[in-house]
């Protein structure tokens, strides 16, 4: 487009003339795009929107100056990695012309298309992309409330909680018991609790070999189960115990005072207790009206537009996107596809179905990893597995794939965080 | 003065009205196939950069590879039934046509 037109549009002249313009030209020239949440989904969405629509005003609303990545945080917990290697800033986004607004979004008014910020300011938008991640359901587990997270860290949002869990493990005497409570699915990072168990066991085996780790799980099955189970047998023998829903493993009540977890039939005392809380979409999703009764956000899989509120797109953990998992890989990719579809909508082009993919690596020791992959189509507005594709690393690892996957995971982390945060 | 600003307004309106006929889609070079940033191949290709990056450290950087190289490797991953890496498992989810489009899009331009 000609520079003169861009300049004209920036001027009041063009604005008043704009009233009589066809919708298309108005929408694309002065498009105001707001992205809410600067995680794997939101930061990626902002960068892609700005790249696809250089003349649009792209704002990213995020309360924190730094983002601490959950992927690889289980390595931090087990003392294998420093938190600073997980910490990212938004400077690259600012340099690219994205307006990074350091605030919390406190409300979204769909009718007037404005986001209200914790600063009291209001941000108007033509289209809003939300990637608020998860929030914890404080009402869903008896005895579990916000004040308990110091005694029983969740470490399911990375940062000080990650470090706290690491310190508690360090302070625990040899022969201690570590408990991990796994909430009912769906939750962020389906293989995450089991990778955490593996890496904590890796730490205990070296530093506190008489200790024990018990997973108390609300679910009957879990991600990459045969591979994790085999790895626990091979590397940690009797140190790791998993108690699933069919053995009444699910935690029904927590008692921070006595450091006990109650299940339907048992009480377990732990020296270190990691309660991964029941989850739902980030709180702002409820306030914006894009979450349904499940607490998660139904979206059209082609455009990622909310099925409940037009003009608002949702990506990442907050969405109902099964069989796509709640992973950073998926959030990043959904954000890129969503940005393309938003740009198409602003250009009066219909959104197009596409193929998406996902791989989640999980460490089983410091030097070995396993993975699960999937390929998905969005044709009818829902995600569907492409049959014949995807699946887990082979159980019978003759070729040393687990060692190679441990290195691939490092390279994945490097590539995806560079694409997300610059 | 008055006349000049009236003229400016008029030319502004004309300019904007004229430019409205060229849509953003045209500016971006959008077409259904091709290498357009909003086209269907672009949406397919965004699956790659999460691992293969846009330069720099990645699980196998694609930098410098020609379209033919990328296609040949991708097809090899797709065909090798014994292959267990995540790329083997994902490659099986793409058609030969999609693989050609992706390779053309990402391959080094001569
Ligand atoms: C232990 C662990 C290990 C993991 N390992 C992996 C892995 O190996 N691979 C993988 O792919 N995934 C992994 N994940 C999952 C990954 O962390 C999430 O899937 C990913 O972060 C989802 O991105 P998101 O954008 O949806 O949410 P987030 O990354 O959580 O980003 C949400 C952002 O929104 C902001 N926000 C929330 N509310 C508001 C508001 N009202 N206003 C403004 N901003 C707001 C938050 O501050 C936050 O920055 C792991 C998770 C955990 C817990």
pLDDT in tens, A66-80: 999 999 999 999 999
Q: pLDDT value at position B19?
A: 40
Distance CA A84, CA A72 (A): 11
Residues of the domain holding B56: 31-110
Do B110 and B58 fall within a single domain? yes
- The answer, yes or no, to whether residue B74 has pLDDT greater than 80, is yes
CB contact under 8 A, B93 and A354: no
Which residue among B12, B49, B86 sits closest to A371, beta carbon to beta carbon?
A: B86
Distance CA A22, CA A272 (A): 63
Query: Is the alpha carbon torsion for A225, A228, A234, A239 positive or negative?
Result: negative
- The answer, yes or no, to whether residue A11 has pLDDT greater than 80, is no
How far does the CA of residue B25 sit from the closest CA of chain A (Å)? 6
pLDDT in tens, A332-349: 999 999 999 999 999 999
Residue A58, SS3? Answer: strand
Q: pLDDT value at position B14?
A: 39
Which residue among A347, A386, A388 sits closest to B23, beta carbon to beta carbon?
A: A347
CB contact under 8 A, A1 and B22: yes
User: What's the gap in Å between A268 CA and the centre of ligand 1?
Assistant: 30
Distance CA B39, CA A14 (A): 30
- The answer, yes or no, to whether residue B5 has pLDDT greater than 80, is no
Residue A98, SS3? Answer: coil
Which residue among A25, A51, A355 sits closest to B19, beta carbon to beta carbon?
A: A25
- Residue B100, both tokens: 């050609």
Dihedral Cα A315, A319, A325, A327, nearest 10 deg: 40
Question: Is B28 buried (19+), middle (13-18) or exposed (0-12) by CB count in 10 A?
Answer: buried
Q: pLDDT value at position B18?
A: 37
User: What confidence category does residue B9 fall into, taking pLDDT thresholds of 50, 70 and 90?
Assistant: very low
Dihedral Cα A210, A215, A220, A226, nearest 10 deg: -50
Q: How big is the A-B interface in CB pairs under 8 Å?
A: 162
Domain count, chain B: 2
Do B24 and B77 fall within a single domain? no
- Residue A128, both tokens: 């809003």
- Residue A144, both tokens: 């579990």
Do B6 and B57 fall within a single domain? no
- The answer, yes or no, to whether residue A251 has pLDDT greater than 50, is yes
Q: pLDDT value at position A143?
A: 97
Do B43 and B62 fall within a single domain? yes
> Crossing angle of helices A40-52/A328-346, nearest 10°?
30
> Does the beta carbon of B90 lie under 8 angstroms from any beta carbon of chain A?
yes
Q: Which of A333, A335, A354 to mutate to test the interface with B (most CBs of B within 10 A)?
A: A354
Contact B43, A337 (CB under 8 A): yes
Do B76 and B105 fall within a single domain? yes
Do B46 and B73 fall within a single domain? yes
pTM confidence score: 0.91
List, in order, residues 6 or more apart from A215 with CB less than 8 Å away.
Answer: A180, A182, A193, A194, A197, A240, A241, A242, A243, A249
- The answer, yes or no, to whether residue A56 has pLDDT greater than 60, is yes
Q: Which atom of ligand 1 is nearest to the CA of A317?
A: 26
Q: How many CB atoms lie within 10 A of CB B6?
A: 10
CB contact under 8 A, A415 and B25: no
- The answer, yes or no, to whether residue A207 has pLDDT greater than 60, is yes
- Antiparallel, parallel or unpaired: β A127-130 and A312-314: parallel
Do B99 and B110 fall within a single domain? yes
Do B42 and B79 fall within a single domain? yes
How far does the CA of residue B37 sit from the closest CA of chain A (Å)? 7
What is the DSSP secondary-structure string of A328-360? HHHHHHHHHHHHHHHHHHHTT------EEEEEE
Do B39 and B93 fall within a single domain? yes
Q: pLDDT value at position A19?
A: 35
- The answer, yes or no, to whether residue A359 has pLDDT greater than 90, is yes
Higher pLDDT, A277 or A8: A277
pLDDT in tens, A286-327: 999 999 999 999 999 999 999 999 999 999 999 999 999 999
CATH number at residue B58: 1.10.760.10
Rounded to a whole number of angstroms, the distance between the first and last alpha carbons of chain A is 27
Distance CA A14, CA A53 (A): 19
Average pLDDT, chain A: 93
CB contact under 8 A, B24 and A415: no
List, in order, residues 6 or more apart from A387 with CB less than 8 Å away.
Answer: none
Do B39 and B73 fall within a single domain? yes
Query: Is the alpha carbon torsion for A293, A296, A300, A306 positive or negative?
Result: positive
Contact A369, A362 (CB under 8 A): yes
Mutation test residue for ligand 1: of A166, A188, A324, A370, the one with most atoms within 8 Å of CB: A188
- The answer, yes or no, to whether residue A376 has pLDDT greater than 80, is yes
Domains of chain A listed by start with CATH number: 3-136+279-421 (3.50.50.60), 146-275 (3.50.50.60)
Contacts of B56 in chain A (CB under 8 A): 414-415, 418
Give the Cα-Cα-Cα angle A226, A231, A237 (nearest 5 degrees): 115
Question: Is B10 buried (19+), middle (13-18) or exposed (0-12) by CB count in 10 A?
Answer: exposed
pLDDT in tens, A208-247: 999 999 999 999 999 999 999 999 999 998 899 999 999 9
A84-110: average pLDDT: 98
Distance CA B73, CA B69 (A): 6
Percent of chain A with pLDDT over 90: 92
Do B45 and B93 fall within a single domain? yes
Do B39 and B67 fall within a single domain? yes
Contact A230, A197 (CB under 8 A): no
B70-89: average pLDDT: 94
Contact A411, B49 (CB under 8 A): no
Q: Which contacts qualify for B21-26: CB closer than 8 Å, 24 or more apart?
A: B22/A1, B23/A24, B23/A25, B23/A28, B23/A347, B23/A348, B24/A24, B24/A28, B24/A53, B24/A343, B24/A346, B24/A347, B25/A344, B25/A347, B25/A348, B25/A349
Distance CA A38, CA A94 (A): 12
Q: pLDDT value at position A7?
A: 39
- Residue A306, both tokens: 């909310």
User: What confidence category does residue B63 fall into, taking pLDDT thresholds of 50, 70 and 90?
Assistant: confident
What residue in A sits closest to B14 (Cα-Cα)? A17
> Does the beta carbon of B1 lie under 8 angstroms from any beta carbon of chain A?
no
Q: pLDDT value at position B83?
A: 84
Rounded to a whole number of angstroms, the distance between the first and last alpha carbons of chain B is 55
């Amino acid at each position: 487009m000609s520079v003169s037109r861009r300049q004209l549009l920036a001027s009041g002249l063009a604005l008043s003339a704009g009233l009589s313009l066809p919708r298309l030209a108005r929408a694309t020239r002065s498009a105001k795009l707001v992205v809410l949440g600067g995680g794997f989904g939101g930061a990626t969405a902002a960068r892609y929107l700005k790249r696809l629509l250089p003349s649009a005003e792209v704002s990213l609303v995020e309360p924190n100056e730094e983002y601490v990545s959950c992927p690889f945080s289980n390595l931090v917990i087990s003392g294998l990695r420093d938190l600073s290697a997980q910490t990212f800033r938004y400077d690259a986004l600012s340099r690219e012309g994205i307006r990074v607004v350091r605030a919390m979004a406190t409300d979204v008014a769909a009718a007037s298309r404005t986001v209200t910020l914790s600063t009291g300011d209001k941000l108007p938008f033509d289209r809003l992309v939300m990637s608020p991640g998860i929030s914890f359901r404080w009402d869903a587990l008896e005895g579990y409330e916000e004040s308990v997270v110091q005694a029983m860290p969740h470490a399911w949002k990375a940062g000080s909680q990650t470090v706290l869990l690491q310190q508690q493990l360090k302070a625990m005497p040899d022969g201690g018991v570590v408990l991990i409570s796994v909430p009912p699915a769906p939750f962020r990072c389906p293989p995450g609790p089991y990778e955490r168990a593996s890496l904590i066991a890796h730490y205990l085996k070296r530093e506190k070999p008489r200790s024990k780790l018990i997973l108390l799980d609300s679910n009957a099955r879990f991600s990459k189960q045969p591979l994790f189970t085999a790895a626990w047998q091979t590397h940690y023998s009797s140190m790791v115990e998993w108690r699933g829903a069919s053995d009444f493993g699910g935690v029904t009540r927590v008692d921070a005072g006595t450091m006990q977890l109650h299940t339907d039939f048992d009480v377990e005392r732990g020296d270190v207790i990691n309660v991964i809380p029941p989850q739902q979409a980030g709180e702002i999703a409820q306030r914006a009206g894009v979450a349904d009764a499940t607490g998660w956000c139904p979206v059209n899989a082609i455009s990622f537009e909310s099925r409940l509120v037009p003009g608002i797109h949702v990506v990442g953990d907050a969405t109902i996107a099964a069989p796509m998992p709640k992973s950073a890989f998926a959030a990043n990719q959904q954000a890129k596809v969503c940005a393309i579809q938003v740009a198409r909508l602003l250009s009066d082009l219909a959104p197009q179905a596409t193929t998406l993919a996902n791989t989640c690596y999980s460490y089983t020791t410091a030097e070995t990893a396993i993975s699960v992959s999937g390929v998905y189509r969005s044709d009818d507005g829902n995600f569907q597995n492409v049959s014949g594709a995807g699946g887990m690393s082979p159980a019978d690892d003759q070729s040393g794939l687990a060692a190679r996957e441990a290195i691939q995971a490092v390279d994945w982390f490097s590539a995806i965080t560079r694409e997300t945060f610059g | 003065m008055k006349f000049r600003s009236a003229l400016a307004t008029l030319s502004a309106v004309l300019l904007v009205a004229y430019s409205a006929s060229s849509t953003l889609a045209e500016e971006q070079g959008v077409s259904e196939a091709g290498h357009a940033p909003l086209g269907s191949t672009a949406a397919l290709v965004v699956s790659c950069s999460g691992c293969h990056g846009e330069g720099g450290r990645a699980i196998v950087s694609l930098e410098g590879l020609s379209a033919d190289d990328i296609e040949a490797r991708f097809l090899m991953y797709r065909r090798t039934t014994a292959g267990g890496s995540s790329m083997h498992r994902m490659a099986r989810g793409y058609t030969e046509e999609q693989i050609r489009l992706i390779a053309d899009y990402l391959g080094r331009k001569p």
